[in-house]
Each structure stands twice: as structure tokens, then as C-alpha cells.
């Protein structure tokens, strides 16, 4: 049976007979033998394989085993005389599955820029950095499920195609089966959606929240974790057109409970990933951003700062620093403001609550002052907003008014309003941008390098 290299590096014992399979990272040829480092994606470090003249077809095999080639090796583990590795594999047989021509294979042993690696998205996961990112991403996804499952949350699957704009911001991609060269029109020359696949306009979802609220009104505590889509034309290092979001929703919960859950959640994720991926996290700290481990420690051991939007504005107005964007009560916080608060004022994550009504979504619970809503954003150093959430408006009349005030059509939200007609309860939830979390954890500078196949303006290859 084939063993994974991570397992062998940890548990393999001298004299054990094993078989491994993977891709060659490096080859060193000496007179009588050759060293090949093989990586199978299970760990940052590969396994050193020693091939010597006894190997059947030695010269031919070694000639074919260039960087990028795929191989199966059977042999015996031996204690390694080399520094930095406990064991190595003495090959008895080696089968080359596929060669990689050194003249054309783009991933030769040298540093490549992340921009270049994005152009070879089909090969970049074979590099140290990207493979470490995707192992951490996997560990994080696993820890998310673990956290919610242990607390009795039901994992629900919310739709990807939807007819409603969950954020009311109109940043949706349309879904249609029309032939775009010949779209049916009504007599008034408007697009005749009654002839489209769903009989009305449909879109890719921007958030699973509204459906999560439906399910929370039956199961109390639920979460959805899936892809979401935004057609905002933001070419930044923190925006994707397709990203994954984790959205818990809790019945019988207010904003305080929501903040407590979000904070416990982030602490759990950092703790868990440090435990499951210590080598990868060490790698990020050494090679990508030397504050990665200190940040993790800070998240785990310190309480997040909590303040209102009004207090945040006061701090920003007092700052002896000039911002590019204006600071004024009523305007949304820009990334530079968020980062100033988290990085310079508090030096840890900050939860800002009670934003102005006008700049937040229709579903957030109106405060008694009517000027602010029970919103919360969690702002992280280097990233800015990583979580957005709120207590939801559970009062039918207020919600109807808010939908109208925001220029939305209440008919589109009939079922969402029904939740307030039948058995309404105080409830709250939030959305964590999964890629922003992975970015925050690994110190990776660009969000396009923490998702295997990034989707962004003019970017849809692979
Ligand atoms: O703040 P947002 O828009 O909140 C919602 O969608 C709510 N419905 C969530 C809820 O309460 N259930 O988005 C939530 C998070 C943001 O804080 C950010 O981390 C991430 O999603 N996000 C993006 N990540 C990558 N690319 C984008 N274009 C993103 N837009 C939002
Ligand atoms: Mg937000």
C-alpha cells in the first residue's frame, strides 16, 4: 500500500519497506547515485529518495526523473546522514509515470513571483507556498465544521442560484438560459423573463443569509458554508468575484451573543490550525510575513476590542494622520480607516457596532435612535473587515418600512417577511469571508493566492 510522505516523515522507521508516489521537486546526480526529492502534497517537506546503480534500469530512470516528473518508488527507509531529515528512502524499484521536459516545465527550482504563478494556475499548487496555503485552507474548513458541530449547529445548504438580492446592493451576476443574441422581448420591448428558465430574473447568490434565517427559524442554530458571488468591479488584493462565506445564524440571540460567538470562533480556528499545520504556519512566518505567529498568539490570547461606530469615528477624527478618504459620521469606513483602528490604535481585532442605518443592509435591526442599526463588523490588522454581521430586524412593520426606504420591492421578499408574521424571534448572525480569513492566518498579501482558482474582473482562466 502507498504511504503518504507526511506520515513517513513523522512515523517512518528505519528498515521499513514502503512505497510512495509523488512528483519530483529536485534531483542531484552524483557519480554512483542520485538524490531525488519527492513531494506528494501531504507536507511541506518532501522525502529524499536515494537511487543507486543496483536499481533496475538505473541510468534511464534517473535521466527521466526531472523536476515535475511523476514517480512511484518502492524501497526501504534508512536513517538519513543528511542534516535536517530523519529518514530517507533507498529505492529498490522506481516507475516513472510521466516526464516533465526541463526545457519547458515552468516550475524549475527557483523563486517565482506570485504574479507569474497566477498565470500557471494549473501548476502553481506544486510550489511550497501555494501547497502550504491550501493545506491551511483545508485545515481551516475542517475546523469550521468542527466548531459548529460541537456546538450543535446544523449545517444547511443554501442555494447558489436565487431570485433575491440578500444584501440589497444590486451586485449580482445574472443567471439565464436565454440565447443572448436573441433575447425574447415583450410588446413594450422589455426582456421577457417569463420565457427564461426560471420564469423570472435569477442570479448567483451574494449571501446565503436569508435562507439561513429561514432554517434558523426551525432549527435554532444553523450555518451555511458555500460559494458566494459579487459583481463588484473591485480590483483589490482583498476582493474576489467568487468567494466562500461561512454564515452562522442563531435564533434567540442578540448582538452581544453574536459578537461572543464570532470571537470564540476565530480563536478556535487559529488554535486548531496551529495544531494541525505547525510546519506550514512556521513556513509562513519565515518566508511570507514574520508576524504570522505573533498574530495567531494575539488572536488566541487577547480579548477583541469592542466599540461603536460613533466612538470609532471620534478616534479617527482625532488621529494625527491624514487619510485618503474623508472621515465623517454617516460615511462608511474605508479599508485605511479599518486598518488604522486594528493595526495602530488597538493592535488587535476590533469589533465595531451600531453603524449608521443608511450605509447598512435592510435586514439589520433598527436601534431606538433610528439613526443606527445593530450591525457589527470585525476588523483585523492588515485585512480590514473580515466578518460582517448583525442582529436582524424581527419586527414586521419595521422591516417592511426598511425594505421600502431602501428602494427594494417588498413583494420580492414575501417569504422573508412571513418569518416575521409567524413565530418571529430575536435572532442574529454573521458572515466570515473565508479567503480573508486564510489571508489573515497565512500573511499572504493577495487574496488571489489563497483560493485555488481565483475569479476576479477579467480573470476566469482555469
Ligand atoms: O459584510 P458582508 O457583505 O455580509 C454579508 O453578506 C452578510 N449577509 C453576512 C451575514 O450576516 N450572514 O460579507 C461578509 C464577509 C465580509 O466581512 C468579507 O470578509 C467577505 O464576506 N467578503 C468578501 N470576501 C472576498 N471578496 C469579496 N468581494 C467580499 N465581499 C465580502
Ligand atoms: Mg460588510
pLDDT of residue 451: 98
pLDDT of residue 356: 98
pLDDT of residue 243: 98
Q: Is the CB of 451 under 6 A from ligand 1?
A: no
Residue nearest to atom 5 of ligand 1 (CA): 431
**Minimum-distance ligand 1 atom for the alpha carbon of 436:** 19
pLDDT of residue 169: 84
pLDDT of residue 110: 81
Confidence check: pLDDT of 371 > 90: yes
Counting ligands in written order, the one closest to the CA of 245 is 1
Confidence band for 111, pLDDT divided at 50, 70 and 90? confident
Q: Is the CB of 208 under 6 A from ligand 1?
A: no
**pLDDT digit string, tens, across residues 181-208:** 999 999 999 999 999 999 999 999 999 9
Q: Is the CB of 433 under 6 A from ligand 1?
A: yes
Confidence check: pLDDT of 59 > 90: yes
Q: Is the CB of 436 under 6 A from ligand 1?
A: yes
The grid coordinates of residue 335 equal 479599508
This prediction's pTM: 0.96
Encode 200-221: b = buried (16+ Cβ within 10 Å), e = exposed: eebbbbbbbbbbbbbbbbeebb
pLDDT of residue 267: 98
Counting ligands in written order, the one closest to the CA of 428 is 1
**pLDDT digit string, tens, across residues 217-234:** 999 999 999 999 999 888
Reduced to 3 states, what is the DSSP secondary structure of residue 402? helix
CA distance 303 to 345: 15
pLDDT of residue 275: 98
pLDDT of residue 234: 86
**Minimum-distance ligand 1 atom for the alpha carbon of 230:** 28
Query: Strand pairing partners for 385?
Result: 379
**Minimum-distance ligand 1 atom for the alpha carbon of 212:** 12
pLDDT of residue 233: 85
**Minimum-distance ligand 1 atom for the alpha carbon of 240:** 26
Reduced to 3 states, what is the DSSP secondary structure of residue 137? helix
Report percent pLDDT > 70 for the chain. Answer: 100
CA dihedral 317, 320, 323, 329 (to 10 degrees): 0
pLDDT of residue 350: 98
Q: What is the layout of strands, in order, in the sheet containing 242-251?
A: 154-155, 221-229, 242-251, 427-433, 384-391, 372-380, 350-356, 305-308
pLDDT of residue 84: 85
The grid coordinates of residue 21 equal 508516489
Rounded alpha-carbon distances, angstroms, from residue 236 to 240, 324, 456: 8, 16, 9
Q: Is the CB of 209 under 6 A from ligand 1?
A: yes
Counting ligands in written order, the one closest to the CA of 433 is 1
pLDDT of residue 31: 87
Mean pLDDT of the chain: 96
Cα 433 to ligand 1 centroid, rounded to whole Å: 5
Confidence band for 109, pLDDT divided at 50, 70 and 90? confident
Segment 17-45 shows an average pLDDT of: 96
Check residues 20 and 164 and name the one with the higher pLDDT: 20
Ion ligand 2, residues whose Cβ is below 5 A away: 388
**pLDDT digit string, tens, across residues 254-277:** 999 999 999 999 999 999 999 999
Q: Is the CB of 243 under 6 A from ligand 1?
A: yes
Contact 392, 365 (CB under 8 A): yes
Confidence check: pLDDT of 87 > 90: yes
Residue nearest to atom 31 of ligand 1 (CA): 433
CA distance 258 to 392: 11
Confidence check: pLDDT of 83 > 90: no
State the residue for C-alpha cell 493577495: 446
Cα 405 to ligand 2 centroid, rounded to whole Å: 20
Q: Is the CB of 429 under 6 A from ligand 1?
A: yes
Confidence check: pLDDT of 292 > 90: yes
Residue nearest to atom 3 of ligand 1 (CA): 388
pLDDT of residue 295: 96
Query: Strand pairing partners for 433?
Result: 245
Q: Would you give the end-to-end CA distance of the chain in angstroms?
A: 33
**Minimum-distance ligand 1 atom for the alpha carbon of 383:** 19
CA distance 267 to 264: 5
Q: Is the CB of 387 under 6 A from ligand 1?
A: yes
**Minimum-distance ligand 1 atom for the alpha carbon of 447:** 25
Cα 76 to ligand 2 centroid, rounded to whole Å: 55
Confidence check: pLDDT of 15 > 90: yes
> Which of 336, 172, 349, 159 has its CA nearest to residue 267?
349
148: alpha, beta or left? (left if phi > 0; alpha if psi -120 to 50): alpha
CA distance 172 to 408: 15
Q: What is the layout of strands, in order, in the sheet containing 174-175?
A: 161-162, 202-204, 174-175
pLDDT of residue 170: 81
CA distance 244 to 435: 7
CA distance 104 to 462: 19
Amino acid at each position: 500500500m502507498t504511504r503518504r510522505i507526511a506520515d513517513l516523515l513523522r512515523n517512518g522507521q528505519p528498515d521499513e519497506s514502503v512505497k510512495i508516489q509523488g512528483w519530483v521537486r529536485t534531483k542531484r546526480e552524483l557519480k554512483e547515485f542520485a538524490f531525488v526529492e519527492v513531494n506528494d502534497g501531504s507536507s511541506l517537506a518532501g522525502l529524499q529518495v536515494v537511487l543507486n546503480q543496483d536499481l533496475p534500469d538505473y541510468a534511464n530512470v534517473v535521466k527521466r526523473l526531472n523536476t515535475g516528473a511523476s514517480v512511484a518508488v518502492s524501497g526501504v527507509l534508512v536513517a538519513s546522514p543528511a542534516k535536517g531529515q530523519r529518514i530517507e528512502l533507498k529505492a529498490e524499484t522506481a516507475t516513472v509515470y510521466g516526464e516533465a521536459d526541463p526545457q519547458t516545465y515552468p516550475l524549475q527550482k527557483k523563486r517565482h513571483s506570485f504574479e507569474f504563478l497566477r498565470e500557471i494556475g494549473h501548476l502553481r499548487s506544486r510550489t511550497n507556498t501555494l501547497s502550504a496555503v491550501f493545506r491551511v485552507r483545508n485545515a481551516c474548513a475542517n475546523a469550521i465544521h468542527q466548531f459548529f458541530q460541537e456546538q450543535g449547529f446544523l449545517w444547511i445548504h443554501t442555494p447558489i442560484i436565487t431570485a433575491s438580492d440578500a444584501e440589497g446592493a444590486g451586485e449580482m451576476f445574472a443567471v439565464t438560459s436565454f440565447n443572448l443574441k436573441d433575447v425574447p422581448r415583450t410588446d413594450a420591448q422589455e426582456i421577457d423573463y417569463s420565457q427564461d428558465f426560471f420564469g423570472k430574473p435569477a442570479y448567483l447568490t451574494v449571501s446565503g443569509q436569508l435562507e439561513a434565517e429561514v432554517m434558523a427559524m426551525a432549527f435554532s442554530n444553523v450555518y451555511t458554508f458555500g460559494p458566494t458571488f459579487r459583481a463588484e468591479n473591485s480590483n483589490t488584493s482583498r476582493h474576489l468575484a467568487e468567494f466562500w462565506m461561512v454564515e452562522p445564524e442563531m435564533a434567540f440571540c442578540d448582538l452581544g451573543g453574536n459578537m461572543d460567538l464570532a470571537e470564540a470562533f476565530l480563536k478556535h480556528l487559529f488554535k486548531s490550525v496551529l495544531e494541525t499545520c505547525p510546519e506550514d504556519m512556521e513556513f509562513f512566518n519565515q518566508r511570507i510575513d514574520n508576524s504570522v505567529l505573533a498574530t495567531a498568539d494575539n488572536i488566541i490570547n487577547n480579548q477583541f476590542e469592542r466599540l461603536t461606530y460613533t466612538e470609532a469615528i471620534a478616534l479617527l477624527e482625532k488621529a494625527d494622520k491624514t487619510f485618503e478618504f474623508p472621515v465623517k459620521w454617516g460615511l462608511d469606513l474605508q479599508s485605511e480607516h479599518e486598518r488604522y483602528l486594528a493595526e495602530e490604535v488597538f493592535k488587535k481585532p476590533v469589533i465595531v457596532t451600531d453603524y449608521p442605518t443608511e450605509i447598512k443592509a435592510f435586514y439589520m435591526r433598527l436601534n431606538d435612535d433610528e439613526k443606527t442599526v445593530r450591525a457589527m463588523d470585525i476588523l483585523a490588522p492588515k485585512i480590514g473587515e473580515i466578518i460582517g454581521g448583525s442582529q436582524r430586524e424581527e419586527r414586521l412593520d419595521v422591516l417592511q418600512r426598511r425594505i421600502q426606504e431602501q428602494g427594494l420591492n417588498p413583494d420580492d421578499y414575501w417569504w422573508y417577511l412571513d418569518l416575521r408574521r409567524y413565530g418571529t424571534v430575536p435572532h442574529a448572525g454573521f458572515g466570515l469571508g473565508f479567503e480573508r480569513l486564510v489571508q489573515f492566518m497565512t500573511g499572504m498579501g493577495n487574496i488571489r493566492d489563497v483560493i485555488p482558482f481565483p475569479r476576479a474582473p477579467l480573470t476566469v482562466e482555469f
